[in-house]
Amino acid sequence: MIMNVILSGVQKQGPMNMLPHAHFLRRIGLLVRFIVLLACLAAYFLPVHAAVATPNGPLIVTLDQLSTRDEGCQLMFVVNNQTGVSLERLQVETVLFSPENRVLAMTMLDFQTSPDSSLRVRNFAFPTTSCAQIGSVLFNAVGSCAPLDSAACEASLEVGSHVDAELIQ
């Protein structure tokens, strides 16, 4: 392949007269392609690796308190992780129902991290809902339960309540 290269206003022909940094740029291009390939391979195989984790016990979530705060209600949950896996993130789609089974609110609660064999207490405020309006709380679906997949997390989930409002799944 013959390339036309202009150096100092003089035209020269031939592959040997390439700019001095062209070889370097070609190597950088190859390196970038290799890094992109590695990133694609990692993205392909990492989810398979993450799905290998399986729970060996229950993930127990208890509705412990309903507390009136200003005009709204604060829900306090206790998370007891006995799965054998430290959870990096636990998110649950939650629905509040009235005593007449009418939907009051629907939201995604982020329980954050939950190390294995540990208790965590999490509070969530619902500023426009009074505690007297809440008849039950439904864990509708597990959104995220890293490193477990949502289905495995949901299968290990056990819920209960220490208050009049029932926690159901």
pLDDT, position 105: 94
Note the pTM of the prediction, 2 decimals: 0.68
pLDDT at 93 over 80: yes
**Same-domain pairing of 69 and 112:** yes
**Same-domain pairing of 82 and 45:** no
Residues 147, 152, 156, 158, CA torsion sign: positive
- The closest alpha carbon to 75, from 140, 118, 117, 138, belongs to 138
pLDDT at 72 over 70: yes
**Same-domain pairing of 76 and 122:** yes
Residue ranges of E strands in the chain: 4-7, 10-13, 59-69, 72-81, 87-97, 103-114, 118-126, 136-144, 157-161, 166-168
**Same-domain pairing of 46 and 118:** no
Burial class (CB in 10 A: 0-12, 13-18, 19+), 155: middle
Give the mean pLDDT of 62-68. 96
Query: Residue 15: which domain range?
Result: 4-50
pLDDT, position 39: 73
Q: Please tell me the number of Cα atoms within 13 Å of 75 on its side-chain side.
A: 33
**Same-domain pairing of 104 and 40:** no
CATH number, domain with residue 137: 2.60.40
pLDDT, position 85: 93
Of the pLDDT bands very low, low, confident and very high (cuts 50, 70, 90), residue 55 is confident
